[in-house]
Amino acid sequence: MSAEDLDDWLDGLAGRLGDGPLEAGSIEGQALRAQIRAQLSEEFGPVAARDASREAQLIARARAAGLLPLEKAHQANPRPGPRSRWGLAQTLLVAASLAVAAVGILTLRNQVRPTETLRGIVNGTVELESQDPRALKQLLMQQLQAAGVTVTGYEQLDRVGLDADLPQPLAPKVRQVLEQHHIPVPGDGALVIEIRRTGAP
């Protein structure tokens, strides 16, 4: 991959879209961005604070893999030998790696959270705010088209927008896109969205 292709891919992943035709790398980056955002919109069930059974299983697996010393019923010398110290070091290294991975995932989740805000509905038009209106418009168009909806985009003065005729009854994929962006379902199937830059009057 050339440096220019990599730049296009990173711009697509970051949601930065130019006015010209989209390059292949930019389209791939946008597709990955849309997939990440779709996964982040899923709701996860609560995780138990502590599960003794699961802990016992993990400890047994770590011992079987040689990461922890085996239990001995009558151990004459309780001091850990070189081998058990090495197993402890490996365990600590794995725990540190998992902690770093968790911090990285949380950071990524915070970076790719949707930045749009629903301002309201005026005369049937859904009004959104975004730091990057063009990128949000492109993302919405791609997601709706992927769900089988015909979409037309437009630009007017300080706003960008899109029009779409939603299928009736509403397909689950289309409903998922609308819910992901907190867009109310229009009663007549005519979806009109206008996006202005955050802070614009």
pLDDT in tens, 149-181: 999 999 877 779 999 999 888 889 999 998 888
Which pLDDT score, from 0 to 100, does residue 74 have?
A: 44
145 in the same domain as 88: no
Question: Does a structural domain hold residue 34?
Answer: yes
Question: Does a structural domain hold residue 45?
Answer: no
Residues of the chain with pLDDT > 90, as a percent, come to 13
141 in the same domain as 106: no
What range defines the domain where residue 91 resides?
A: 57-70+81-110
Burial code (b: 16+ CB inside 10 Å, e: under 16) for 62-92 equals: beeeebbbeeeeeeeeeeeeeeeeebeeeee
- Of 92 and 112, which is predicted with more confidence? 92
Q: Give 71-96 pLDDT, tens digit per residue.
A: 654 444 555 555 566 677 778 888 88
176 in the same domain as 131: yes
Which pLDDT score, from 0 to 100, does residue 113 have?
A: 46
Number of compact structural domains in the chain = 3
123 in the same domain as 189: yes
Mean pLDDT of the chain: 77
